[in-house]
Structure 1
């Protein structure tokens, strides 16, 4: 039985399985790439998916003899069934999990193509960052989980009352440090927040569900980043109001870029598009 903290991913997998059915049995991964910032896959269907590369989760990777421990499947990733990658989503190995989530994101794009999203349920903006969809001046208290630089700049410029919860304070600069609080203090700030902005990395480290449980009813909750580029339904079910992700439009090209240490600056508008999906209240 899966732990409660994995429930969002588990239910998203169920939705993908229901949408694609037996087709899943035939799909394999044609390419798998680990990059400095992003990792990604290309499916045999041609669809691509990305995930944040959790470098800080792999202290053993700094030692060459330990690389096999970090990713024991190196050299055996191509042609592997997506069903195996889906199983890896629940792995304790951070690299296996990374490619598993990238695979879910690629499969989510396939699902969107097969079942067009209901415009009465979702409000979808392509080529637009989720941060652009929010007027921070409307909220009295904001909490940001992770060093999400564009949002932090926006909040600082607006003179907003905010806290940024981050495991490593060195990722913050200047005035941002004045708003810093350790990630372990989430329970002190999230319950009072009107706007909560959460990095998709919380999907990787299994903290998202617990963070959502702390939020008060009616709070605006944004989850954003390449890791969060999957079907939105389950996220909305557990309180998220806006999901920001990435849709890969040219899989081979984007994998080439990230394999050379590329970031979003190198591929947005060329090989991938930002997406912002909002839950529509009926």
Structure 2
């Protein structure tokens, strides 16, 4: 759940649109409509920032959400923005954003950020199994002694996985200039993505795969009996749709100072600058899936039961 959500394979795993993630997000939007009820009609977009690394939204109820801004989208925006008039997003009804009525080069990223902002109240409602303060490596049963494939070189996470003693850590990263210690794992090419995921016992995907539309295809490459984790601020929406796709663990964030977070993004900052100041880490467990995989006895669970 680091700023390096952007370490995501490109090429065959990148989309020219967000259509591959749209079913996932449409389902999430519908669940949020049902959970929020009539109150959603009163909500407006109070503020939006399209930053270099992340896009952020603050709603009229004070809740905020962020989502990774794909570089490919920024590149296309230079052309698309000249093709027609743009909408004013500030003050727009949230229901219209959810319905996909917002147009423009960053419309889908703003929609995703809005979905994340709408999700915030439900992480404190008891609806989900939420743990605060640690990253996903605290659930060691998902990693220790297992073949792990990490899609996106999240260096702090890789260092923690090394200490857990994985059987193998395979790393897939789109940027050839990304460097890391050989002891952190074995790097494979983008062309070996399907092969690497087919062999893994645990797969880790960054939230950037939601923003760039590649997550559904990546999930389809993972064995049916493998554990799946999705990490990053972009994955900050209610996890029902991810859980339906057999994701066992979501590591994400809750924003608690929306204005400060958007100020940081407006000045070119990223997630590293937001942790501990504007947002806190949470893990959301798919209890049913973890039990199906016989992975419920992690040290994280033991620590929780002992407290």
Is structure 2 residue 97 aligned with structure 1 residue 85?
yes
Deviation of 1:57 (Å): 3.3
Q: Which structure 1 residue ranges, 5 or more long, are not aligned?
A: none
- Map 1:1-282 to 2 at 5 A: 6-60=22-76, 66=79, 68-69=81-82, 73=86, 76-88=88-100, 95-112=106-123, 116-118=125-127, 122-134=128-140, 138-156=144-162, 158=165, 160-175=167-182, 179-281=186-288
Name the CA shift for 1:273/1:72 in 2 (closer, same or farther; >3 Å). Answer: farther
Q: Which of the pair has the greater relative contact order for Cα pairs under 8 Å at 6+ separation?
A: 2
Deviation of 1:59 (Å): 2.1
Normalising by structure 2, report the TM-score.
0.78
Q: d(CA) in 2 for partners of 1:170 and 1:69?
A: 33
C-alpha RMSD of matched pairs (Å): 2.9
Name the CA shift for 1:96/1:141 in 2 (closer, same or farther; >3 Å). Answer: same
CA shift digits 1:178-233 (9 cap, x unpaired): 72223343221112211111011111122212222222233221101111001012
Deviation of 1:257 (Å): 1.4
Name the CA shift for 1:13/1:168 in 2 (closer, same or farther; >3 Å). Answer: same
Report the secondary structure of 2:97's partner residue: helix
Q: d(CA) in 2 for partners of 1:70 and 1:78?
A: 21
Q: d(CA) in 1 for partners of 2:250 and 2:101?
A: 20
Deviation of 1:71 (Å): 9.7
Name the CA shift for 1:53/1:110 in 2 (closer, same or farther; >3 Å). Answer: same
Q: Contact conserved, 2:116 with 2:236, CA < 8 A, in 1? A: yes
CA shift digits 1:48-79 (9 cap, x unpaired): 00111212433245x6xx473499537x1211
How many residue pairs were aligned? 271
Q: d(CA) in 2 for partners of 1:16 and 1:94?
A: 24
Deviation of 1:166 (Å): 2.3
Q: Which structure 2 residue ranges, 5 or more long, are not aligned?
A: 1-17, 292-307
Q: d(CA) in 2 for partners of 1:166 and 1:81?
A: 38
Deviation of 1:263 (Å): 2.5
Q: d(CA) in 1 for partners of 2:184 and 2:277?
A: 34
Q: d(CA) in 2 for partners of 1:89 and 1:194?
A: 40
Q: Contact conserved, 2:70 with 2:212, CA < 8 A, in 1? A: no
Q: Contact conserved, 1:32 with 1:42, CA < 8 A, in 2? A: yes
Q: Contact conserved, 2:98 with 2:115, CA < 8 A, in 1? A: yes
Normalising by structure 1, report the TM-score.
0.84
